[in-house]
Structure formats: structure tokens, C-alpha cells
């Protein structure tokens, strides 16, 4: 009778007594019909609805509001997305609270979610507009990792280049992002440099090229030609260690003039 009241009214009131002359008469007939059906015993509950309502009225409570009330806590259940819904907006809470009921307090432009028993603060958010969501990464164990698509070498040259390791993949991705034309030809020229400089030096040159955004074979040749003399930028305050180039050296005795006496010779003569 409660869920299908409109259907009952159409079949038992409107159909037998229609048409009504005006809306006032229809409303009066509807009121009389409701009083009639609520004053007789119902076949399902075996009681008079009007009398049962008087008994249960003291047990009924107001429906919870969807709007947050300032200074008043409302109960909300944490859904599977670890969020509570307040004022048609969603606010995240720690995932450990999924499936539990929490208290939500609104005031001074903020939403606070607390444990209903201990009163511990679970989450705090700024109020957002209806339909929006306020999500904190720490409630989900940190920010979600960005999607990463691994490069897939196809040609023999690409497979040989990727054998240099992660730096080769970074070099190819950076070159593609920079829009380097004829990338396959550039990779082939770089691979040819291994025969003259070795894999270790070529790998180091690729790392330097990635750091400075240089993705041409000519750039790799320039880095290899500079060798240890290439500057290594450091942040302010860090120790600057410069590797000096190795050059042939000679002892000081090689600069001695014929017949000249050295300090060592003089010391030996004094000793005698």
C-alpha cells in the first residue's frame, strides 16, 4: 500500500469514480479514499495501518540529509573506492576503512572524517562542489605510477643498439620525442663507432647525450672525441672533481745540465 500507492489510487479511485469535475473534488475524493483504506485491517500485516503508525511513530527517525550540516556529525559508509559521499561529492579516506561506517563533520569550509568510536581523525579535505571528488594519494599508498610502455626493437640494428642497456632505450625515446628524422640511420652510425672506441666509452657517451638532450650521431662523435676533457656540470655546492688528461712525464734528473752539481751532490760532499 505504501510502495504502490499511486497504482492503488488509479485502480480503486480514479477508474471507478472518474471523471472528476475539478481538482478540488478529486483531492477530496483521494483524501477520503486514503482515510478509508488506512482505517481497515491490512491483509498482509493483519493490523490497521493508522493504528500501527501511531505505535511505530516513536521509533521513526528523520532521514539522513545528503548535505553536510555544520557542527553536526553524519554517518557515512566507506565504499569500495575508499571514499565517502557527502553533498553529492566524494572524499577519500584510508583504504583500511573500506566497508566501515565513519562520522563526517563539516565546518569552516572543510570536511573531517573521524572514527565513530575512537574519534581518531581519518581524513580531512577542503569542501568541493557537488559532482567533484577530493582524493589524497597517501590514502592509497602513494601516487599511482605513470604508465610505462617498453620500447620494442624490431630491426637488427635496433636490437643491436638496445643491447647497450637502459641508456639505449632512454636515447631512443628521447630522440623520438625530439622528432629526430632518419632515426634508424642515426642508430646505424652510432653502432659503427663501437669498433673504434669500444662499448664502455660508447655507453658513457650515450648517457651524456641523454643528459644533455643530444640525439644525433654527430653529437656522439663529438662526445667521444672530447673524452675525459668534456666538462661534467655539478650542482651548486657539490665537489667538483676534474679528471686531468694523462700526458707523458719525465723525472727532474732529465733536466740536469752536463757538469752541473745538484743539491744531493753538495750534501754528500758536506757529509764526507
Q: What is the structure's pLDDT at 157?
A: 86
Q: Is 245 exposed, middle or buried (0-12, 13-18, 19+ CB in 10 A)?
A: exposed
Task: Kindly report, residue by residue over 181-190, the tens digit of the pLDDT.
Answer: 888 899 999 9
Question: pTM for the whole thing?
Answer: 0.38
**Separation CA 26–CA 167 (nearest Å):** 83
Task: Report the candidate in 79, 121, 118 with the shortest Cα–Cα distance to residue 104.
Answer: 121
Q: What is the structure's pLDDT at 67?
A: 53
According to the 3-state scheme, what is the secondary structure of 116-138? CCCCCEEEEEECCCCCCEECCHH
Q: What is the structure's pLDDT at 143?
A: 77
User: Is 36 a residue whose pLDDT tops 70?
Assistant: yes
3-class secondary-structure state, position 23:
helix
Task: Report the candidate in 168, 97, 175 with the shortest Cα–Cα distance to residue 139.
Answer: 97
Q: What is the structure's pLDDT at 106?
A: 85
Task: Report the candidate in 110, 109, 54, 104 with the shortest Cα–Cα distance to residue 83.
Answer: 104
Q: Which residues contact 101 (CB under 8 A, 6 or more apart)?
A: 75, 76, 77, 78, 116
In the chain, DSSP finds a helix count (H) and a strand count (E) of: 11, 7
User: Is 12 a residue whose pLDDT tops 80?
Assistant: no
Q: Which residues contact 77 (CB under 8 A, 6 or more apart)?
A: 84, 99, 100, 101, 102
Task: Kindly report, residue by residue over 148-199, the tens digit of the pLDDT.
Answer: 677 788 888 888 998 898 899 899 988 988 888 888 899 999 999 998 889 9
Pairing of strands 101-107, 74-77: antiparallel
Q: Dig out the grid coordinates for 19 from the structure.
A: 471523471
- CA 76 vs. chain centroid, Å, equals 25
Give per-residue burial for 100-109: e unless 16+ CB within 10 Å, then b: eebbbbbeee
Task: Kindly report, residue by residue over 97-141, the tens digit of the pLDDT.
Answer: 999 999 998 888 889 999 988 888 999 999 998 889 999 999 988
Amino acid at each position: 500500500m505504501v510502495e504502490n500507492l499511486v497504482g492503488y489510487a488509479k485502480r480503486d479511485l480514479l477508474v471507478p469514480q472518474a471523471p472528476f469535475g475539478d481538482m478540488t473534488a478529486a483531492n477530496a475524493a483521494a483524501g477520503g479514499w486514503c482515510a478509508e483504506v488506512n482505517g481497515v485491517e491490512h491483509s498482509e500485516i493483519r493490523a490497521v495501518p493508522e493504528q500501527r503508525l501511531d505505535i511505530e511513530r516513536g521509533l521513526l527517525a528523520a532521514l539522513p540529509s545528503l548535505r553536510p550540516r555544520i557542527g553536526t556529525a553524519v554517518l557515512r559508509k566507506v565504499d569500495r573506492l575508499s571514499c565517502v559521499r557527502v553533498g553529492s561529492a566524494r572524499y577519500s579516506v584510508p583504504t583500511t576503512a573500506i566497508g566501515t561506517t565513519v562520522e563526517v563533520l563539516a565546518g569552516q569550509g572543510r570536511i573531517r572524517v573521524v572514527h565513530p568510536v575512537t574519534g581518531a581523525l581519518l581524513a580531512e579535505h577542503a569542501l568541493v562542489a557537488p559532482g567533484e571528488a577530493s582524493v589524497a594519494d597517501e590514502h592509497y599508498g602513494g601516487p599511482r605510477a605513470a604508465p610505462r610502455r617498453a620500447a620494442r626493437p624490431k630491426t637488427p640494428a635496433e636490437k643491436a643498439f638496445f643491447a647497450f642497456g637502459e641508456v639505449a632505450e632512454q636515447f631512443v625515446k628521447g630522440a623520438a620525442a625530439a622528432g629526430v628524422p632518419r632515426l634508424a640511420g642515426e642508430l646505424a652510425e652510432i653502432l659503427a663507432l663501437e669498433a673504434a672506441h669500444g662499448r664502455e666509452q660508447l655507453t658513457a657517451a650515450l648517457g651524456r647525450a641523454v643528459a644533455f638532450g643530444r640525439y644525433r650521431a654527430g653529437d656522439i662523435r663529438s662526445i667521444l672525441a672530447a673524452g675525459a676533457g668534456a666538462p661534467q656540470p655539478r650542482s651548486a655546492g657539490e665537489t667538483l672533481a676534474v679528471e686531468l688528461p694523462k700526458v707523458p712525464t719525465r723525472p727532474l734528473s732529465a733536466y740536469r745540465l752536463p757538469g752541473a752539481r745538484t743539491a744531493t751532490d753538495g750534501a754528500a760532499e758536506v757529509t764526507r
